[in-house]
């Protein structure tokens, strides 16, 4: 009886310690407040200019880096009218696949906008194998992108899935 009670107390202690050790997820909203995503901590936010074949493209990037993965959300102003949004998304995917292997690629409806989900295997800057899960969508001139970088086999981890599933329309 005492052993069972001690095991129950130990289990309660371990579970409560584990729940305290979970990171506090932080909501990030797009500048216009229309969309939101959650990070497992406070993301670093920066504005960058991408040099593309259609000219410079301003992009806001929110990024959370850890030892296990990198979670990235970006919004760019698409400089071209997308008569065929999937063609634009495929071109973006192809640029990301450079020097890598496209393992999965699917069109999807991303909150009512044309979207794609791709899984890409490549080598990181240090030569180590990495996997990228890229979810992208276009609404008007806005180009949204969620990128998860992890070790191969970790692309479906609960943390990455929570990040991807947290992308939603923000209530105003």
Q: At CA 137, angle to CA 86 and CA 47, rounded to 5?
A: 125
Tokens, residue 119:
């899984």
Structure tokens at 129: 């194998």
> Structure pTM?
0.83
pLDDT reading at 1 higher than 70? no
CB 60 within 8 A of CB 45: yes
What is the tens place of the pLDDT at every residue in 30-86? 988 789 999 999 999 999 998 877 788 899 999 999 999 999 999 998 777 768 889
Where does 24-169 sit in CATH, by number? 3.40.1000.10
| DSSP of the chain | -HHHHHHHHHHHHHHHHHHHHSPPPEEEE-TTSSEEEEESSPPEEEEEEEEETTEEEEEEEEEEE-SSEEEEEEEEE--S--SSHHHHHHHHHHHHHTTSEEEEEEEEEETTEEEEEEEEEEE-TTS-EEEEEEEEEEETTEEEEEEEEESTT-TT-HHHHHHHHT-EEPP-
Task: Show me where the domains of the chain are located.
Answer: 24-169
- pLDDT bracket for residue 9 (50, 70, 90): very low
d(CA 143, CA 103): 23
């Amino acid at each position: 009886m005492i052993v069972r009670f001690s095991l129950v107390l130990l289990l309660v202690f371990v579970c409560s310690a584990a729940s305290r050790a979970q990171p506090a997820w932080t909501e990030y909203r797009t500048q216009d407040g229309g969309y939101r995503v959650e990070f497992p901590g406070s993301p670093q936010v920066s504005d960058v200019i991408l040099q593309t074949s259609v000219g410079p493209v301003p992009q806001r990037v929110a990024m959370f880096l850890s030892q296990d993965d990198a979670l990235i959300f970006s919004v760019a102003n698409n400089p071209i009218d997308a008569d065929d949004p999937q063609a634009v998304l495929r071109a973006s995917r192809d640029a990301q696949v450079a020097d890598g292997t496209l393992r999965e690629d699917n069109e999807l409806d991303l909150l009512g906008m044309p979207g794609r989900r791709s899984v890409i295997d490549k080598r990181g800057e240090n030569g180590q194998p990495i996997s990228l899960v890229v979810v992208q969508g276009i609404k008007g001139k806005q180009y949204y992108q969620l990128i998860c970088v992890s070790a191969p086999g970790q692309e479906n981890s609960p943390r990455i899935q929570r990040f991807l599933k947290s992308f939603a329309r923000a209530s105003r």
